[in-house]
Amino acid sequence: MALKKTLTIAGSDTSGGAGMQADLKTFQEHGTYGMVALTVVVTMEPNGWAHNVTPLPTELLQKQIDTALSTGIDAIKTGMLSTEEIIRIAGDAISKSGTPNVVIDPVMVCKGEDEVLNPGNTDAMIQHLLPLAAVTTPNLFEAGQLAGTGTPNTIEEMKTAARKIHELGAKAIVIKGGKALATEKATDLFFDGEKFYLLESEKVASTYNHGAGCTFAASVTANLANGLSVKEAVIEAKEFVSAAIAHGWALNDYVGPVMHGAKSRFGAPQVTVTEI
């Protein structure tokens, strides 16, 4: 049986919760065939878990992209792209692929770390990636950087940022309020270019949510490859990540990854969708 082919252009999170590891596990859970073009390798200091980001040579990234694209790709996701050159290479690859199913997760920082990967990356994402995005999935910080508004703190500010990101070329936007937004529920804003929707689920009290953003965006990607509409894709992704967070667990004293396969094993928490 032929499977839909999903490609992530992303970094390796050696701890396994985020990055291309999250993407591949999520692609598998959605019944798609996952492939990877690796951009960077993230390692952690065993004492204290500080992150180190090591880029791969860009010629090697290009060879991986050429390999994957030659098979005919149904959907592409981008994750951690640490330099402006890598962002440009990813943009060229997406254009070359011809697929409209493009999910841009504009990763700027690792959760728990506060240093942006490279300040020039935001402009490069605006130039090379947002115009290609069927969906982009910034968290609050990333939305504020892309929109140039500063980090949104309210639903109204999220709407303003989403409109600006839409003007930059992304066809649809999900701004993840996550647990950072001061709402009772875990609330994300979905803008399809015309209408705004709130996607809400129970806020999980634990901090075991490492990889939640990657898992959400990879779910959207696989859903688009499988033929779902953008709205259906983001709603299922919210269910998938809510289940994964509800079953997050402690890998060690420092990090708690989500359980990527939780939805198929335990079912998903209720997600409500409200047009606003």
Phi/psi at 117 (nearest 5 deg)? -60, -45
Q: Does 213 bind ligand ADP (CB under 6 A)?
A: yes
Q: Does 213 bind Mg ion (CB under 5 A)?
A: yes
Nearer to ligand ADP, 63 or 265 (CB): 265
Strands 5-13 and 75-78: parallel
Site for ligand ADP in 113-142 (CB under 6 A): 139
Least Å distance, CB 98 to ligand PLP, is 26
Among 136, 242, 256, 259, binds ligand ADP (CB under 6 A): 242
Residues near ligand PLP (CB under 6 A), total: 17
Q: Does 210 bind ligand PLP (CB under 6 A)?
A: yes
Nearer to ligand PLP, 98 or 209 (CB): 209
Q: Does 223 bind ligand ADP (CB under 6 A)?
A: no
Angle separating helix axes 19-29 and 212-225, nearest 10 degrees: 40
Q: Which residue is nearest to Mg ion (CB)?
A: 213
Q: Does 212 bind ligand ADP (CB under 6 A)?
A: yes
Q: Does 110 bind ligand PLP (CB under 6 A)?
A: yes
Stretch that binds ligand ADP, among 33-41, 121-129, 198-206, 249-257 (CB under 6 A): 198-206
Least Å distance, CB 15 to ligand PLP, is 7
Query: By the criterion CB under 6 A, which residues form the site for ligand ADP?
Result: 111, 139, 176-180, 186, 188, 201, 203-204, 209, 212-213, 216, 238, 241-242, 245
Query: By the criterion CB under 6 A, which residues form the site for ligand PLP?
Result: 10-13, 18-19, 42, 79-80, 107, 110-111, 210-214
